[in-house]
Structures are given as C-alpha cells and as structure tokens.
Amino acid sequence: MKKALCLSAVLLASGAANAEGEAKWGYSGDKGPENWAALSPDNAICSGKNQSPINLTGFIEAELQPITFDYQKGGQEILNNGHTVQVNYASGSSIEVDGINFDLKQFHFHAPSENHIEGKSYPLEAHLVHASEEGDLAVVAVMFEEGEANEGLKQGWANMPEQAGDEHPLSEQASASALLPSDRDYYRFNGSLTTPPCTQGVRWLVMKQPLTASQEQIERFADVLHEPNNRSLQPVNARPVLQ
C-alpha cells in the first residue's frame, strides 16, 4: 500500500490544491518546508533522517556502474501544479540501475537548485523521476548553470502554463535525452522525494556535469512560479555520498 501511495505522489500533480482551491503546502509561511511534517499525518516522514535535498560533499570513491539510459520521445503534456512546471511522460522510456528497470514518469524543475554540490547552489535543477514495477523510486538530477540557451528546454518553455492548474498538450513529444549531459558520471546517495509526502528510500543519481540555460530561460521559470521552489538542505546524517 505504501509503495502504491508513493507512486501516486509521483504520477499526480501532487499538492496542487484542494477542492476549495487552497494550497495544501508551499515553500513559505505556515505551509513552508519547516512545517510540512505537521500539516498532515501523511507527511510525517518529512522529519525523517534520510531526507532530500542535501549538500553533496565528503564523497566516497566507489565503482558506480554506468546508468543505462533508454529514453524515447514521450513528453506528452506540460502542467503547472502550483509548485513546479512538470512534463508528464508516456511509457516506454527507462533507466537501469542495480539491475532494476525504472520507468520515466515525469520530469520537473526547481529554481534555485535543491541539491548543492560542495556548497554550490545552481540557478536551476531538473528532476527526472522514475519508478520500478515494485514502486521503488529513482531520481536523476541535472544542474543548470547560466550560459547558452538550452535546446532541451525550448519546447517546454514555449508551452509553459502560467497559472497553477493549467495543463497544455505538447504538439510534438519532448525527449528527456535533451536534458542529459554528454558525460554521464554521477554522484549517488539515498534520500527522499523533496516534496510531500517526502517518501524515503529514493535512489538519487546526480549528474556531475551541469548543463547551461540562458538568463531568459531561468527568469522565465522563476516568473511563472512567483517564488523559489527549493526545499532547504536536509541533514546528511550517516549517509554516504558515492562517486
């Protein structure tokens, strides 16, 4: 039952609004991240010891196996759920990690970045969210630095819904491959979803090589969201960060 609920949180526009249109959680004030665990019994794990995001540092050398990416064009629709802009993905694209196949369900963005790398924050971070048949979760995170315009963002940005709850079909299916760097080396740690219900046991795979996005692209996303949508850094505790 727990894994079914976790998968629902990934697939749905989680936390957008209740029937009265009032946001269930947010990034500031009484509904901000420091209060998520108290907002609902379903969010209790938000105060757990294996939460994301983190500052990735103190790396442990490990023989990490390459991630096997099998991405097809499959981005069908883009939506604004009030907390991020998200592209929902058709079935048929996946990664393989630890001998397990994880299907790509959606990708979305945070500005500024949620994870930091050796203390560095980035202006934009993409999360490509995957789930196995058993309901286990894996997130590929990609950082963006300000620089050249990013071709992989252009289609979604041109169709970006400006109001919470708005959803637009994409006339041509988007490809998540365009959001991956050429160098697929990565950091790995065990964490959680960065939004309620903050489900733990998530495999985090953070690409080492950042991509670029133009100032205009970064500002466009920030203007639509109206406020930063990054959860504060969480304690690493005893978790190893592998590279």
pLDDT in tens, 193-243: 999 999 999 999 999 999 999 999 999 999 999 999 999 999 999 999 999
What residues are annotated to the active site?
83
- pTM, to two decimals: 0.93
Q: Which residues of 128-142 are buried (b: 16+ CB within 10 A; e: fewer)?
A: bbbbbeebbbbbbbb
85-89/73-80 β-pairing: antiparallel
Closest CA to 16 of 103, 82, 73: 82
pLDDT score at 20: 40
pLDDT at 1 exceeding the cut of 90? no
Please state the separation of Cα 212 from the chain's center in Å. 17
- Measured CA to CA, the distance from residue 226 to residue 47 in angstroms comes to 26
- Measured CA to CA, the distance from residue 79 to residue 87 in angstroms comes to 6
CA distances from 124 to 3, 55, 63, 206, 210 (A): 29, 15, 28, 13, 10
As a whole number, mean pLDDT of residues 39-61 equals 97
pLDDT at 7 exceeding the cut of 70? no
pLDDT at 21 exceeding the cut of 90? no
Class level of CATH domain 2-225: alpha beta
Q: For residue range 118-177, what is the model confidence (pLDDT) as tens digits? A: 999 999 999 999 999 999 999 999 999 999 999 999 999 999 999 999 999 998 999 999
pLDDT at 13 exceeding the cut of 60? no
Rounded to 5 degrees, φ, ψ at 116 are -115, 155
